[in-house]
C-alpha cells in the first residue's frame, strides 16, 4: 500500500507563473488536507477536501490559491501568479477517518 504521493518533489517558478502541486492520497483514503511549512516553522493548515468537495478552506489565502480533489485523479493545489513569499514546503496528508492523517514527502516550491 503506497503512501501519500506528492509531485513534483521540487518546483521552481518565476514570479508571476503558476504552480500546480499534486497529491495522490493513500489507497482507500477519501480525505485530503494541504499544509504549508515555512523554514524552521510548524505546518499551517490550508484546506481540507473530500472527493469533489471543499470542506474547510479557512487556511487558504483569499487570492491566487485554489484546491480541488476531483472524482478521479489526484488533488491539486494551484497557486497563480506566484510571489517570493509563496516559497515554502507544501505537504499533503490523507486519512480515512477523523484526524489520523498520513503525510506525503512534500513539494518544495521555490519562487525566483
Q: Rule CB under 8 A: which residues touch another protein?
A: 4, 6, 31, 33, 35, 40-45, 48, 55-56, 58-59, 91, 98-106
Residue 84's φ and ψ, nearest 5 degrees, are -55, -35
User: Shortest Cβ distance from residue 112 to another protein (Å)?
Assistant: 20
Residue 91 CB, nearest approach to another protein (Å): 5
Based on CB atoms, which residue is closest to another protein, 18 or 41?
A: 41
Backbone angles phi, psi at 69, to 5 degrees: -140, 90
- Closest CB 101 distance from another protein, rounded Å: 7
Rounded to an integer, what distance in angstroms lies between the CA atom of residue 14 and that of residue 35?
22
C-beta of 105 vs 110, nearer to another protein: 105
CB 76: neighbour CB atoms within 10 A?
16
Q: Residue 111 has what DSSP assignment?
A: E
Amino acid at each position: 500500500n503506497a503512501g501519500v504521493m506528492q509531485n513534483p518533489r521540487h518546483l521552481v517558478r518565476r514570479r508571476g507563473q503558476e504552480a500546480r502541486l499534486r497529491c495522490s492520497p493513500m489507497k482507500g483514503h477519501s480525505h485530503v488536507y494541504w499544509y504549508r511549512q515555512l523554514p524552521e516553522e510548524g505546518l499551517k493548515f490550508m484546506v481540507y477536501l473530500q472527493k469533489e468537495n471543499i470542506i474547510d478552506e479557512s487556511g487558504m489565502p483569499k487570492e491566487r490559491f485554489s484546491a480541488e480533489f476531483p472524482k478521479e485523479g489526484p488533488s491539486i493545489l494551484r497557486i497563480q501568479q506566484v510571489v517570493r513569499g509563496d516559497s515554502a514546503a507544501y505537504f499533503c496528508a490523507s486519512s480515512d477517518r477523523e484526524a489520523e492523517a498520513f503525510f506525503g514527502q512534500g513539494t518544495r516550491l521555490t519562487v525566483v
